[in-house]
Amino acid sequence: MEKWMTIAELQEGRRRCKGGVGFVPTMGFLHEGHLSLIKKAVKENDHVIVSIFVNPTQFGPSEDLEKYPKDIERDMRLCRAEGAAAVFLPSAEEIYPSGYQTFIEVTELTRHLCGLSRPTHFRGVCTVVAKLFHLVQPDKAYFGLKDYQQFKVLQRMVHDLHFPVETVPCPIVREADGLAMSSRNKYLSTAGRREALILKKALDDVRDALEKGERSGHALQTIMQETVASSPSARLDYARVAHGETLEDLEGEIEAEGTLFALAVFIENTRLIDNMVWSHD
Ligand code: PAF
């Protein structure tokens, strides 16, 4: 497996990749969720490139950029074991050189859900992913659906900017007890780790209510809010019932499959997200 530390190394290495290229952009500290993306990419492409870059522009001023967990040696071992062809590990200075002032914004889909509490987040995500697509020139790029809104925003960006890249959505990977995998789970204390199960419980309560025939968007949203409120220390950022494509709130009767149930909750000081897309099977 190759290790490319600079854009020049990436470009030179990329020229040597003949055939289909799959790309898995990450911020490192890889877990089974990331590995599921790499595994799928390895099955579907001749070469897989993984990037590891903790992207400063997607963190707000009071967020965890400085303490974001890192273990590059372990990440490299995991990428090699999964069959990645190369890992791209650029520096922040190279991605955002001094005087940098070019950003990509998806204007509508980012007005909802996480975009409300993290107003500059998706601008940073879109900018870095657009830059990475431009540099890596993949045929397919793989994203986990825990970040459902991120996937929809990036899909829109790819369409609007005519990137010749297929964005591949990959299912949420969960711990045995149901907690969605996230690099940020590492911040949780033992008690916090237990409390974090409240996100999945809120989604399970919604599924139970749907199975019993509840179809009011407002009532289903209230169920999520009440479940989170039943936890002694969880602090709700949002719980929303939304249209799975437009991400707009659905307050009235929900009929169609594809409705999104999404929530963000602070456990201790860690903001966790989870979601479920309603389907009948
Ligand atoms: O999902 C992530 O890890 C990041 O938002 C991404 C897509 C790698 C961009 O920095």
Query: Are residue 164 and residue 190 in the same domain, yes or no?
Result: no
Q: Does 177 reside within a domain?
A: no
As for ligand 1, residues whose beta carbon falls within 6 Å of it are 25-27, 55, 58, 125, 128-129, 147, 150
Provide the CATH number for the domain around residue 190: 3.30.1300.10
pTM of this structure: 0.98
| One domain for residues 140 and 260 | no
Report the number of distinct structural domains present in the chain: 2
* 194 and 158, same domain (yes or no): no
CA of 25 to the centre of ligand 1 (A): 6
Average pLDDT over residues 5-30: 98
DSSP output for 209-247 = HHHTT--BHHHHHHHHHHHHHTSSS-EEEEEEEE-TTT-
Same domain, 162 and 193: no
Same domain, 210 and 137: no
pLDDT at 280 over 80: no
Is pLDDT above 60 for 281?
Answer: no
Inside any domain, residue 179: no
Domain-located, residue 180:
no
Residue 90 belongs to domain spanning: 2-170
Cite the active site residues. Answer: 34
pLDDT in tens, 48-83: 999 999 999 999 999 999 999 999 999 999 999 999
Which of 65, 129, 148, 273 has the most ligand 1 atoms within 8 A of CB, as the residue to mutate? 129
Do 28 and 117 reside in the same domain of the chain? yes
Question: CB within 8 A of 59, min separation 6: which ones?
Answer: 65, 68, 121, 124
Mean pLDDT, the chain, whole residue set: 97
- In a domain? residue 79: yes
- Are 16 and 125 members of one domain? yes
- Mark whether 123 and 227 lie in a shared domain: no
Same domain for 232 and 118: no
Q: Are 41 and 158 members of one domain?
A: yes
Q: Ligand 1, atom 5: nearest CA belongs to which residue?
A: 125
Q: Which atom of ligand 1 is nearest to the CA of 51?
A: 8
Q: Is residue 160 within 8 Å of 133, Cβ to Cβ?
A: no
Domain assignment present for residue 178? The answer is: no
Please state the rounded mean pLDDT for residues 229-235: 96
Residue 30 belongs to domain with CATH number: 3.40.50.620
Q: Does the pLDDT at position 264 exceed 90?
A: yes
Q: 137, 170, 203: which is the final residue of a domain? A: 170
The reply to whether 36 falls in a domain is: yes
Do residues 58 and 137 share a domain?
yes
Q: Is residue 181 part of a domain?
A: no
Atom of ligand 1 nearest to the CA of 125: 9
- Which of 170, 194, 209 is where one domain is finished? 170
Pocket test for ligand 1, best of 38, 54, 55, 87 (most atoms within 8 A of CB): 55
**Which domain-ending residue is among 120, 141, 170?**
170
User: If pLDDT is split at 50, 70 and 90, which confidence band does 255 have?
Assistant: confident
User: How far, CA to CA in Å, does 126 sit from each of 39, 149, 151?
Assistant: 24, 12, 10
Q: What is the pLDDT of residues 190-222, one digit of tens each?
A: 999 999 999 999 999 999 999 999 999 999 999
Residues 80 and 199 reside in one and the same domain: no
